[in-house]
């Protein structure tokens, strides 16, 4: 049976998704401007709001009262521009799917040009690009440089020669999008990269030159995590999904945790003096040692949990009480990982004849994979 929403006669030609996080200052004028420029085009706007703290949702609901083409979907407990966009396209009804920002940075004139181009029917994907010819990107020098570097790195992974793969303003046919939908990663900000890298079907594509305008109030959500997300996304796509973006982020956090471990160990070694020893079987284990190593393990595990919570799993970020139970789950998963690592190292060395160092590193990598799955299941309930 065909999906009801496609069979419906009133399916609009174009569904434009606007993802929002605290865009109450701009969303009304953005939606109004679009209406003024898309005259004669049968469209709908789906705003996917991640439970904004400001009046974004109220503004959209109000707009929807007088204009039924404007719909609101509120996600709770979830974050991320890419996953919000995917949600929007999942509930959209149009034959063409698009996306733009809710802060007024995307020029409605370019949106109109994109709509005309894709609705003409001979393209699968059309993007607004800041890098056709010499354009003012509207970015600070540093961000402009970063954006160009990211574009270059992305070009190596993508098969399609987009001049601006970082663009957050584009439109595509639902037919072409459907070929990418099963393979989407949904991590981070760069949804165009995600879509293009998730299908083997080469789109017939076009571009429209468009400079970014100034944001209308509110503030940008871009930070260092967006860059890490993109790097992780590219690894996932380059390895055909074998190494997932999330695992890359988890690994980066793990590396930082190793530094924390070393730091705590060194500091406590030089600062902490505790007399005495704990008699254990035929040995005397110095309290110093127990405390030094114990502190390093405990603090680095806690650091890892904290960083994973705001980076790797920030779309499912734990707060309040669940954060505490999540932390305990994380400790538990890592402890099993440590025991596993110990056993595997000895097994590899004594039974399989590995060099002692190779055995230790292999075992640690394996327990890293375990920790990832364990943490996912026990701490962030994925």
Distance CA 200, CA 14 (A): 24
Site string for Mn ion, 206-245 (x = CB under 5 A): ----------------------------------------
Grouping H, G, I as helix, E, B as strand and the rest as coil, residue 67 is: coil
The answer to whether residue 254 forms part of the interface with ligand GDD (CB under 6 A) is: no
The answer to whether residue 50 forms part of the interface with Mn ion (CB under 5 A) is: no
Q: Which residue is nearest to ligand GDD (CB)?
A: 168
Question: Which residue's CB is nearer to ligand GDD, number 218 or number 251?
Answer: 218
The answer to whether residue 34 forms part of the interface with ligand GDD (CB under 6 A) is: no
- DSSP, residue by residue, 295-316: HHHHHHHHHHHHHHHHTTTGGG
Using the rule CB under 6 A, which residue among 41, 42, 67, 79 binds ligand GDD? Answer: 79
The interface region with ligand GDD, picked from 37-45, 102-110, 202-210, 360-368 by CB under 6 A, is: 102-110
Distance CA 81, CA 187 (A): 8
The interface region with Mn ion, picked from 21-29, 77-85, 101-109, 332-340 by CB under 5 A, is: 101-109
The answer to whether residue 102 forms part of the interface with ligand GDD (CB under 6 A) is: yes
Distance CA 156, CA 238 (A): 9
Using the rule CB under 5 A, which residue among 20, 82, 83, 105 binds Mn ion? Answer: 105
Question: Which residue's CB is nearer to ligand GDD, number 20 or number 371?
Answer: 20
CB 89 within 8 A of CB 141: no
Structure tokens at 216: 């209308």
- What is the length of the chain? 382
Instruction: Say which entry of Mn ion, ligand GDD, none residue 375 contacts (CB below 5 to 8 A, set by partner kind).
Output: none
The answer to whether residue 105 forms part of the interface with ligand GDD (CB under 6 A) is: yes
The answer to whether residue 314 forms part of the interface with ligand GDD (CB under 6 A) is: no
CB 5 within 8 A of CB 89: no
Using the rule CB under 5 A, which residue among 23, 44, 103, 107 binds Mn ion? Answer: 103
Distance CA 81, CA 167 (A): 12
The interface region with ligand GDD, picked from 95-103, 110-118, 253-261, 284-292 by CB under 6 A, is: 95-103
Chain centroid to Cα 352, Å, comes to 40
The answer to whether residue 222 forms part of the interface with ligand GDD (CB under 6 A) is: yes
Give the strand pairing for 125-129 and 205-209.
parallel
Look at the block and give the residue holding tokens 């890293």. 368
The answer to whether residue 98 forms part of the interface with ligand GDD (CB under 6 A) is: no
Cross-strand partners of 12: none
Using the rule CB under 6 A, which residue among 89, 189, 261, 330 binds ligand GDD? Answer: 189
Question: Which residue's CB is nearer to ligand GDD, number 50 or number 107?
Answer: 50
For residue 167, the tally of other CB atoms under 10 A from its CB is 26
For residue 316, the tally of other CB atoms under 10 A from its CB is 18
| Rounded least distance, CB 23 to Mn ion, Å | 9
Backbone φ and ψ of 185, nearest 5°: -90, -45
Question: Which residue's CB is nearer to ligand GDD, number 225 or number 286?
Answer: 225
Angstrom distances, CA of residue 329 to CA of 317, 372, 379: 14, 12, 5
Question: Which residue's CB is nearer to ligand GDD, number 49 or number 59?
Answer: 49
List of residues contacting ligand GDD (CB under 6 A): 19-21, 23, 48-50, 79-81, 84, 101-103, 105, 147, 166, 168, 189-190, 220-222
């Amino acid at each position: 049976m065909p999906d009801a929403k496609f069979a419906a006669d009133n399916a609009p030609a174009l569904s434009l998704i606007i993802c929002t996080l605290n865009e109450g200052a701009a969303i009304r004028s953005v939606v109004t401007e679009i209406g003024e420029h898309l005259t004669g085009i049968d469209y709908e706007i789906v705003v996917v709001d991640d439970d904004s703290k400001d009046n974004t949702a109220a503004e959209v609901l109000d707009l929807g009262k007088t204009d039924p083409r404007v719909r609101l979907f509120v996600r709770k407990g979830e974050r991320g521009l890419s996953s919000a966009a995917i949600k929007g396209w999942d509930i959209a009804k149009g034959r063409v799917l698009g996306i733009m920002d809710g802060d007024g940075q995307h020029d409605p004139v370019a949106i109109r040009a994109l709509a005309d181009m894709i609705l003409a029917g001979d393209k699968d994907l059309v993007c607004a690009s800041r890098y056709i010819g010499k354009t003012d990107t509207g970015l600070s020098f540093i961000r402009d440089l970063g954006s160009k570097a990211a574009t270059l790195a992305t070009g190596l992974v993508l098969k399609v020669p987009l001049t601006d793969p970082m663009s957050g303003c584009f439109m595509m046919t639902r037919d072409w999008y459907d070929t990418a939908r099963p393979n989407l990663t949904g991590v981070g900000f760069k949804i165009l990269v995600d879509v293009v890298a998730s299908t083997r079907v080469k789109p017939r594509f076009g571009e429209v030159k468009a400079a970014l305008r100034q944001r209308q109030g509110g503030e940008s959500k871009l930070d260092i995590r967006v860059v890490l997300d993109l790097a992780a996304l590219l690894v996932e796509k380059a390895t055909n999904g074998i190494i997932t973006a999330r695992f890359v982020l988890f690994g980066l956090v793990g590396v930082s945790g190793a530094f924390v471990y070393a730091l705590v160990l060194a500091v406590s070694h030089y600062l902490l003096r505790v007399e005495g020893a704990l008699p254990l079987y035929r040995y005397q284990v110095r309290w110093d040692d127990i405390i030094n190593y114990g502190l390093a393990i405990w603090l680095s595990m806690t650091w890892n949990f904290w960083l994973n919570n705001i980076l790797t799993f920030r779309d499912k970020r734990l707060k309040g009480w669940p954060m505490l139970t999540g932390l305990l789950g994380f400790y538990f998963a890592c402890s099993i990982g440590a025991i596993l690592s110990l056993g595997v190292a000895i097994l590899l060395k004594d039974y399989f004849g590995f060099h002692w160092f190779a055995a230790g590193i292999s075992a640690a990598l394996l327990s890293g994979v375990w920790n990832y799955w364990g943490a996912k299941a026990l701490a962030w309930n994925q």
